[in-house]
Each structure stands twice: as C-alpha cells, then as structure tokens.
A and B are shown apart, each in its own frame.
Chain A
Amino acid sequence: MPQLLIKGGRVIDPASATDKLADVLIQDGAIAAVGAGLAASGAEIFDAHGLIVTPGFIDMHVHLREPGFEHAETIETGARAAAAGGFTSICCMPNTLPANDNATVTSYIVERARKLAVTHVFPIGAITKNSAGEELSAIGSMKAAGIVAISDDGRPVMNARVMRRAMEFARSFDLPVIDHCEDLNLSAGGDMHEGFESVRLGLRGIPASSEDVMVARDILLAELTGARFHVAHISTRHAVAMVAFAKQRGLPVTCEVTPHHFALTDAGMRPYDSNYKMKPPLRTACDAGALVEGIVAGAVDAIATDHAPHPGSEKMQEFERCPFGIIGLETALGLALEHLVHTGKISLARLVAMFTTGPAGVLHLDRGTLAVGAPADVTIFSADLEWTYDVNQSFSKSRNSPFDGHTFRGGPVATIVDGAVVWRRD
C-alpha cells in the first residue's frame, strides 16, 4: 500500500472551494485524505512548505505528433514535457499521420500512452475523415476507444452543413466539438495578424475577422443543434465577446486561451522569427487585453497550450515558409502567473481553476479535484520561485519556443500522477 504524504502546502482545490494550509495523503493512487496535521506511518513525505498543492493540471490542447511525425515529438517526450510543466493530463489533437479519425488509431494512441507516457493522455478524435472537412469520421467507436472530444484542429471544417451534422452527431455521444475557428478563405496565404505590423513588415495578414466569422457561425450552429461547442485558442476581442454573449444566453459554449496569446502581441514579436509564428497569430495588444479581461470576467474556461512541436529544420527558414506553432507545455504556468496573477488580475484559486476544473468541465473528465477517492493527480508549484527557461533542456523533442531565456517568477515544482512523482524540479 504505497503512501505519499504531502506536508504543509497551501492546498487550493477549486472543485471544493478549498484554499488553506493542509496536508494531502495519497494511498494506492487515490486521494485518501486532505486535512491539517495528517500522519501516516511509513508514508513517503513530500515537504510542500511554501508551495501550492492543487489537483493535477489538464492541458486540453496539445499536439503529440505520434503517429507519423515522431521526429518532432512522441507521446513519450510530449508527456515528459507536460509533466515538467505541471500537467498530469493532456489531450492530443488528431492531426497525426494517419489522422486519429477511427478507433484503431485512437486505440493505438491510448495503448502507446499507457506504456510510455508519464501523464494521462486523452485523445481527441477528428470530426471528419482525414480532417478533410467532408465526411464524418467514426465518432461513436472512437468514443468507445477513449476520445474525449472531436476536432479538426488545424484544418477547420469550412462547410457549415458538415459542421452542423458533426455537432448533432457529437451531441448523441455527449462529446464536445472543439473548433479551430478560422475561415480559410479569409486567412489564405497569411503569415501573421493582419494589421499595422503586417503592413510594416511586408508579411501577408490573417485578419481577426477570419476567426470571428467562424466563432459566430459555430455559436449559431451550437444553438441550432444543442451541441457543446468549444472554441480552441481564442485570440480576438470580438470572439471573446461573442462567447461571453453566448454564455449569457445559456448556450453550452466554452473557450480556451493559450498563454502566448495573452503574453505576446504582434508588435512585440521579434521580426521574421518563426518562433513567433502560430495560428491563430499573435494579435494586437488590444486583443491580448481582451483575453485577460475575458479570463477575469469568466468568459474563458481554460488555459491550454496548443503545444505544437516542429523540428528546427522546419522552423529555421524564411518566415513565410515555416510551419505554424510553438511548444508551450513547460512555460504555461510561468506565463499565466506572470500575466494573470502577479499583475493582480485573478486570484491563485482562479488560475488553478483554469488549469483544472475549467478543462475538466469542458470535457466532462473525472479529474481536476482533490476529493477523497479521486485519482491522485497532483500538481505542486511555487508562485515565487525564480527560474529561467532553457529550451535546450526541454523534454520536448522540439525547440520552437519564443520564451527561451525568459526568467519566470513561479513555476511547477513537482508533478504527481496516480500517486507517483513523475517529475520534480532539480
């Protein structure tokens, strides 16, 4: 009966509105007790004085690149990077090769993760076959094999009728539909946010409206179909306003924000550096501010990284030729603390909720809580520890981060999955 006793930490568990100094006892991979002065003879002790102890973080949007692109990332390396970022559960997008559009691929991912991943891995299935946007994929059998949502991330469903049918189908299986909202006709050829900076740099623009029109379309379709609709990596002020309005009207509409979209702006990017190239693109300071305000106001449900590994050979090119995306698992908490908590915008408890109950609620996962009997997934972090990110030490196979060399105040200290410490800061 392996026991682990986490002593003396500040326990923040948004699911039970707990924020107090307490010990957490883990036994047989489950939370056994949370309270003051717990003792357990023979238990391994984790001294958490001065640290914050929370339910394990969930990243509902990562790319693990396996199967098919193992030179960029694998389920094993991606999960290691996740653990080093304080995440105990990650949800992987289906744009692999082959795409995760059937139960065989889902089962492969689940099986590989069980063998090799230090964190839990929950696959997300493709909406359409090969994410081509035409024919619905085998959503029901993928659900049986373990998917927790459907999405054609990176290749959004352009045909509104197909999206309508997907939403109806997903509702039958109680799955949320996650859309990467981008009108591909409006964004075609673009490399960065369309605005003053794109004009100045002579780069082709991706207008904010390419995101806004799809968010609007999908909210209307969610209303039509009654499906749960989730906006991936929301990045514009109008999109946040539309989600807030949908929520106000009681629609089951949710959204996530990535740390880079509130931490960086188009004007702040290093010109022509592909580590600042992603979709959606870095928007204006006004948009980044609206994302933070959306988090404060409760319009935003989760922080997700959109961890998108690409090998150096692909990112080390002319800006317009580089693929979109940056890695983000290891820097997410540090950025969220820096831009949301240390600025006084939100409380630590709210921050923890964005990483735990928020995504768990969107996906209906039985995670994100320290309730007795829950799986012992625990994240321990410091809100003050100074540390500097060295991307060359990353557990990810890829190095495409704009935050290399950045010094953070606060970050993960230890990650516990099913009662076992899978990562601990040196």
Chain B
Amino acid sequence: MLGIEELERAEIEAILERAKHFQPVQHEPQKKLDTLRGKMIVNLFFEASTRTRTSFEIAAKRLGADAISIAASGSSVSKGESLVDTLNTLAAMRPNAIVMRHSASGAPHFLARYLAMPIINAGDGTHEHPTQALLDARTILDRRPSLEGLRVAIIGDIAHSRVARSNVYLLSKFGAQIVLCGPASLLPRELAQIAPGVTLTNDIREAILGADVIMMLRVQLERQHEAAFPSSEYFQFYGLTLEHLALAKPDAIVMHPGPINRGRELSSEVADSQSSVILNQVENGVAVRMAVLERVIG
C-alpha cells in the first residue's frame, strides 16, 4: 500500500466497506479481535507523528496483532545507517509488515524495490498519505450516499501536501469535483492535470461556493524552504471563517487532517462548529487502518 494513485477503485471500495464494518468495534466494551493474532507490525516513523502512529498502533492491536513503534531519531538511523540497511535489519526480524513514514517523497517506493515485505505508506514527504485519504473518504461517506458529483474544496498549502495529493486521486476516481485553492506559490498550475475533475483557484470564496466538503490543510512551515507566502497574510486571505461557511452548502462539512493551527488555517469558531468533522476523521482513522492492515497482512 504505497499510494492511492495506483489503487483500483474496487480496491478502495472494498477497504472503505470493510472499515465501515470495523467502526462499531470502536464502541464495544471489548475492542480486541483476533484477526491478526500472532502477526507483528513495525511502525517505523522517520518523521514526527502522534496521531497517525498512534492510530496505526491501535488499529494493529485491535486486530490482535503485536505492534511496535520506532521513532527514527532513537534508532540506528541517528548513527548514520542508511535507509536500506535499517529496513533490511528490521526485515530480518520477520515482522509481517512495516508501516513507514518518511520525510522524503518516494522513500517507501524506493524501498519496496529491495524488500519483499509489505510496506504501508504512512506518509512520504510531499507525495502521498494514502490512509489519510481513505479515512477522509470514509468520513464523507458517513454523511453522504456517494462521492460522485460532490464538490470538494481543498484549501491551503497544496504544493507541499501529501494529504491533498492522495485525496485528489481518491476523490477523482469516484467522480467528485475537486477545487484546489491556495496562493499561487503553493498551488502549482500543473495540478490542474493531475486527475480528472480538478480545477484551481486562488480565491477562497470561489473555492467554497457551493461546496459539500471543505478540507483545510495545515500550513507546512517545516516543508517550506523559504517564505512562499508572507505568513502574516495567510489567515487573512486563506483562513477559513464562519462567514466563509455561509457560501458553502448548508450541510457542508469541514475537515482537517490535523494537527490544526487555530487562527492560522481556520478560526477557532469553525474548528468547534457543528460543521467540523475533524474528530470523526480521527476516529475513522483507526477503522480504516484496521481495514488496510487486514487487507495487506490478513
């Protein structure tokens, strides 16, 4: 599971359906299944992450698998070991899958050529974050019968967003209309050709007009090597406020992959509003990752 781009629509549907089956498990008093009993999953995070790593760990444990998480800063990586050597070393201990996050785009794709073991991409640089797109789709489908024809606005630092790319690929495969919005320096024009149904705008009001779904992205300061946009102007022109919401469909939902920056990408009022499904996304993360782990290892 390296990216959404190469996944078939039917595969995505199967994962989303299976995730739906796992949703009620989250509310059972006894949450542990034995689907993956005896299996071992290694979460290898070369980049800081709280929610994705925890989510994968909980998903693995709820399926009965053993899971260990390794933060790269505390491992041999800090002693100068190469990525391939690190992965080969871990693979020699025979886990059933490696869940990996890395700051370099394509790092898991590069490794997959040298490793027989399944690798699940938990986010690679500015490329893809497939399980985020799956949990976002699950969250939308909890509130809409289908993705087809939905108008989805994705707003923020699109250029540096792996969440945006994975979501664009997924939503496009299901016939959604996707509007990408941000300042020109964070919205390369080539994105208009990345998948069918994508349009671009630099105007947040135009993006939100008639939207069913508004996805806000975090401003990824750590991925910008220079100021692509004056940060003092960001919220003024690209921050989501309650006033903007009035332009969207009345039952529009607001999503965010987290962690949110109140007052930077969206106002505090929006984050806490009825429209916000941000915590539902987090909750669905576990069910979706259970479905993914089961599919990859089970």
A-side interface residues toward B, CB under 8 Å? 188-189, 195-196, 199-203, 271-273, 313, 316-321
| Chain B min CB distance to A192 (Å) | 10
Using A189-B225, A202-B128, A272-B109 as known contacts, list a sample of 20 further A-B pairs with CB atoms less than 8 Å apart, ordered by residue number in A. A188-B225, A195-B190, A196-B190, A199-B159, A201-B105, A202-B105, A202-B124, A202-B125, A272-B105, A272-B106, A272-B107, A273-B110, A273-B113, A313-B82, A316-B82, A316-B84, A317-B82, A318-B107, A319-B104, A319-B106
Contact of A319 (CB < 8 Å), options: B105, B188, B225: B105
Q: Is the interface of A mostly helix, strand, loop or mixed?
A: loop
| Chain B min CB distance to A311 (Å) | 12
Whether A201 contacts B127 by the Cβ 8 Å rule is yes
Contacts of A317 in B (CB 8 A): 82-84
Contacts of B83 in A (CB 8 A): 317-318
Contacts of A189 in B (CB 8 A): 225
Contacts of A195 in B (CB 8 A): 190
For window 134-188 of B, CB contacts with A under 8 Å fall at: 159, 162, 165, 188
Contacts of A188 in B (CB 8 A): 225
Number of A-B contacts (CB under 8 A): 61
Whether B225 contacts A271 by the Cβ 8 Å rule is no
B-side interface residues toward A, CB under 8 Å? 5, 82-84, 102, 104-107, 109-110, 113, 124-128, 159, 162, 165, 188, 190-191, 193-194, 225
Whether B84 contacts A202 by the Cβ 8 Å rule is no
Whether B126 contacts A202 by the Cβ 8 Å rule is yes
Could you list 21 A-B pairs, sorted by A, with CB under 8 Å? A195-B190, A199-B159, A199-B188, A199-B194, A200-B5, A200-B165, A200-B190, A201-B105, A202-B127, A203-B105, A203-B126, A273-B113, A316-B82, A317-B83, A318-B102, A318-B104, A318-B106, A318-B110, A319-B104, A319-B105, A321-B104
Contacts of B84 in A (CB 8 A): 316-317
Whether B106 contacts A271 by the Cβ 8 Å rule is yes
Tell me, in angstroms, the Cα distance from A272 to B3 when the chains sit together: 14
A189: nearest chain-B partner, CB-CB: B225
Contact of A196 (CB < 8 Å), options: B102, B193, B225: B193
B104: nearest chain-A partner, CB-CB: A318
Contacts of A316 in B (CB 8 A): 82, 84
Contacts of B107 in A (CB 8 A): 272, 318
Contacts of A202 in B (CB 8 A): 105-106, 124-128, 162, 165
